[in-house]
Structure 1
Amino acid sequence: MEYNDDNHLLERVKAGDKNAFEQTFRKFYRKLRIYAFTFVKDNDNAEEIVQNVFCKIWERRDQLRLEGSLQSLLYRSVYNESLSLIRHQKVKTTFHAYQTRQMENTELDLGHQILATELNRHIQSAIAELPEQCRTIFQMSRFDRLKYQQIADALNISIKTVENQMGKALKIMRVKLVEFLPLIILLYLI
């Protein structure tokens, strides 16, 4: 049986008439799919949106309100479903971008840690090769963060000796770590 009046068609759908539902689907499907496409710019998504709208209408047919026209109900439903899909896609895209950044940062952090560990091992090796007094003064200056005068007082030596020993230590360290200069620069630029 064919229904000509959209309101009568909607009443029949609400009553569970499968023929009325099928007629509604055939009558509006193509126009609704084109309408959905204007939002989502993808045929598959447009088809899915329209199918979802019709599925929801059938599943909730007993809750349908007979306010307005059937056509406006369908277009409003497709509009809302399209916006919902667009929001969902934006959330997925945002999450994917976030996840990608997190993975890249984790890889950078891990690479940074490996490089830092390697550099630290070479620095410790170079420090261990310094003459004893030179090594002591270097460690007090760089690790304990003492000023030259404090080091001189603690070791009971002149400040000039501290300056000379620090100069010697830095010169030896530069020579021993010259091949790691690009690594040092890389670690501090990342």
Structure 2
Amino acid sequence: MNQLLRNRELHLFAEMKAGNKESFNYFFDYYYSGLCIYAKNYIGDLSASEEVVQDVFVRFWEKRQNIKIESSVRFYLYKTVYNQCLNLLKHKKIERNYRQNYLIQQNNLFEEQWSLYNESELRHVLNQAMSKLPPRCREVFELSRFENLKNKEIAEKLEITEKTVENQITKALKVLRKELKDFLPLFLMYLS
């Protein structure tokens, strides 16, 4: 940019600061298209670039009295558009991260609720199936699977043989497999 054009722009800028809209229109008409292309190189979206440049020009007019330009209006406008592009990109990144975190949280919440529902449903079905076991068979099975006692410990506690404990567990598993056939994968996971 030659010195003559720079001096002319600084003069026009001084007139714009004083409220001359024609001076502002000069800057808008002269730089708008180039600034849009410049912004598009950073943002990648022409309509978003146009919005950035329009916002820069709106602020350029509204804040004209507080703006200090000593060297080049062109430099000021390009630098301001550059900064706005960076701000937009940062904002989009924050927004994208927020959306991703929100979706992850919603998915985790859904999985947790689904898990609780499945566990609740499984407990209900398991209790119904367990109620079909003979009392002694149920007691042996509960000691084995829910209290994690070994067959020998169950035999001693109930004063029965280990073979009887094994038979009762086998009998319970047979009944439960039949009753819980639709829930067997969940049931096995629950018991492990």
Give the TM-score normalised by the residue count of structure 1: 0.85
* Cα deviation, residue 17, structure 1: 2.6
- Classify the secondary structure of the residue corresponding to 1:81: helix
Candidates 34, 38, 63, aligned match of 1:35: 38
Corresponding position of 1:141: 144
The reply to whether residue 10 of structure 1 matches residue 13 of structure 2 is yes
Using the alignment, how far apart are the partners of 2:22 and 2:125 within structure 1?
Answer: 82
Counterparts of 1:1-190 in structure 2, within 5 Å, are 5-182=8-185, 184=187
**Distance in 1 of aligned mates of 2:50 and 2:133:** 75
Query: More deviation in 67-76 or 100-109?
Result: 100-109
- Kept in 2, the 8 Å contact 1:137–1:162? The answer is yes
The one-letter code sitting in structure 2 at the alignment partner of 1:122 is V
Q: In 2, Cα distance between the equivalents of 1:184 and 1:148?
A: 21
Taking the aligned partners of 2:26 and 2:182, their CA distance within structure 1 comes to 79
CA distance in 1 between counterparts of 2:20 and 2:34 reads 22
Identity of aligned residues (%): 38
Please give the alpha-carbon distance, in whole angstroms, between the structure 1 residues aligned to 2:179 and 2:173.
10
**How big is each residue's C-alpha offset from its partner over 1:32-84, in whole Å with a ceiling of 9 and x where there is no partner?**
11111222222221111111111112222222122321101000011111111
Equivalent pair of 1:152/1:162 in contact (CA under 8 Å)? yes
**Residue pair 1:135, 1:169 contacting (<8 A) in 2 also:** yes
Contact 1:13 1:21 in 2 (8 A): yes
5+ long unaligned stretches in structure 1? none
The runs of 5 or more residues in structure 2 that have no matched partner are 1-5
**2:10–2:70 contact (8 Å) kept in structure 1:** no
TM-score normalized by structure 2? 0.85
Verify the 8 A CA contact 1:11 1:66 in the aligned structure 2. no
Distance across 1 between alignment mates of 2:185 and 2:162: 33
